[in-house]
Amino acid sequence: MTDITPAERHALSDAIDRALAAQQTHGKTGIAATILQGSRTLATGENEVHLQNDPTRHAEMVAIARAGHALGTPDLSGCTLISSLQPCEMCLAALRFAGITRVIFAATKARVAAKYFIFPGLDLAAFHAASPTAFETFGGIDADRVLPLYRDGAA
């Protein structure tokens, strides 16, 4: 297993801090994401579904869109997605469409409320099996910091 870099650990810690803060912000949900290009932060995002009345405004989707704008391209090949929660099926599909090949997250699907995943049978293993190119996922890192947000589905 490849080690998580110091920049990735820092970005995950920051995403967790932002998720905890977002939970206290009207209209936001306690989920946060970051897109890294190497050790450089390209974009961040928090869940804006209720703020924007848009079911696609997950933290990962917000960060992916902002990173594409920052680079002037939808191709995020070589970038890493960091999230406080394992990306859902929609976000996994979007990050693969963007060419992201490395995903690091805190809370895992197995330890959170079912509401965060619409297709229970469509898991990371299915995405790995269906993907024409390999990608890496590292989950459960510092999960205890955010699990209270996601265990009962309140976030």
* Residues belonging to the active site: 60
Backbone angles phi, psi at 122, to 5 degrees: -100, 95
Q: How far is it, in rounded angstroms, from Cα 70 to Cα 2?
A: 28
* Ordered DSSP codes for 14-44: HHHHHHHHHTTSTT-EEEEEEEEETTEEEEE
Q: Return the axis-axis angle of helices 59-71 and 89-97, rounded to nearest 10°.
A: 10
**Could you count the other beta carbons within 10 Å of the beta carbon of residue 47?**
26
Closest CA to 148 of 107, 110, 109: 107
AA letter at 98? A
